[in-house]
Amino acid sequence: MRRSPLLVAAMVLLVSSVFGAEIASIDVDQAVLEAEAQRIAVMDRAKDSVLAIFARDGGGGGSGVVISPDGYALTNFHVVRPCGHAMKCGMADGQLYDAVLVGIDPTGDVALIRLFGRDDFPHARLADSDRVEVGDWCFAMGNPFLLAVDFRPTVTYGIVSGTHRYQYPAGTLLEYTDCIQTDASINPGNSGGPLFDAAGGLIGINGRGSFEKRGRVNVGVAYAVSINQIKNFLGQLRGGRIVDHATLGALVSSNEDGRVVVDDVLERSDAYRRGLRYGDEIVSFGGRAISTPNGFKNALGIYPKGWRVPLSFRRDGRRYDVLVRLQGVHGEEELLEKARGRAGNLPMPLPKPDQQRKPGEEPGPGGVPQPKRPGIPVPEPDDVPPIQLLPKAAIAKVVREHFRARRGYANYYFNQLNRDRVWKAWTARADCRELRG
């Protein structure tokens, strides 16, 4: 029986398509396997820098990430506040390390701590969060629900759902500006942990999820403080400071044309001195084009107090470009109160009762109630800590040696350390004795 040429051609085409599909599927499968192996390798390296953070009594719980070989690590302010100035940190090597508070950013919900026990800590690489785009793969690591009993972090994988997000304080002090939104699961205990890009670069510190309407379970909407914002504050945090965010000294809103205009401006602000007035249109700030009030808040929120930032505004069709020095959002007393947690409803445990002011009791220095217990002296103003101090007996010697309480500082020891370092570098450069004839 002879087959028609048309039938033969159809059979050849069918066989070719089947084998071609198999070959193509083999190629795709291999590519998938290689991508999977690469992803696993990246996560395996990243896990070594991740922390499980606990209070000295084993209570509380949160996450963090080491950013330098000498043990400096980032976490959330609301993670360390219940711990006092000393805490324990578990790492993926199974070891538990002592750590001390270094600096805090109460408004931005960031804290810097330092671990002790080795001088070669595995640490994360700081990436450029301004290059993150919606749709990028990312993964979060941390200790949700205190699952990591062996200190090996839990990994959740997802994409970047949004960039330059603004989250209102919503009745708390914590204001998340210019943050990264992700659908990677962020649950209680993930706070303070790292958000990595697909290459294992640190792009943010996880801190906030949309729990309000569905209880304490993540619903795929979580936020991380961008690492580029943290970089702006890192120098002050290393200096043991309680850092403040900046304000332009002006209020803005959208007008009927959708432009961002000035509603009010403080006469004592540098922006006023540079010519900014009521009704002016904000064109750009810090090099960013401004099109919405939230966009302005995002651009402003990444800067510390005292920075000089370019501002462009328009009035009657004429554009003005000036450089303004930013003032602090809070006064010194207000910032200290917020750091201690008595202003605003922070989502964390309150200080112990003997640290809270009772009705009718006058506040002591810096707003701290005067101790009434016999044998305990009233602290001098320079020795008032920003958060509750723990009894010395409960603190490791190495932590005690690296902490000094002083008014206005999270840890004055590190301020002295950095001042000495800068002074030595300056004197070494300015030493002219060898130039004498």
Catalytic residue list? 78, 109, 191
- Other Cβ atoms closer than 10 A to 309: 18
User: How far apart are alpha carbons 148 and 152 in whole angstroms?
Assistant: 6
Cβ distance 256 to 246 under 8 Å? no
Q: Which two tokens stand for residue 381?
A: 């103003």
Residues 6 or more apart whose CB falls under 8 angstroms from that of 48 comprise 91, 92, 93, 122
User: How far apart are alpha carbons 143 and 149 in whole angstroms?
Assistant: 9
User: How far apart are alpha carbons 337 and 153 in whole angstroms?
Assistant: 34
- Report the amino acid identity of residue 22: E
Q: Which two tokens stand for residue 139?
A: 């993964």
- Considering only CA atoms, which of 117, 103, 104, 95 is closest in space to residue 51? 95
Tracing tokens 């510390």 back to the chain, one arrives at 304
User: How far apart are alpha carbons 31 and 28 in whole angstroms?
Assistant: 5
Cβ distance 106 to 61 under 8 Å? no
User: How far apart are alpha carbons 85 and 81 in whole angstroms?
Assistant: 8
Query: In this structure, what DSSP letter does residue 232 have?
Result: H
Strands 222-226 and 176-182: antiparallel
- Considering only CA atoms, which of 281, 245, 239 is closest in space to residue 105? 245
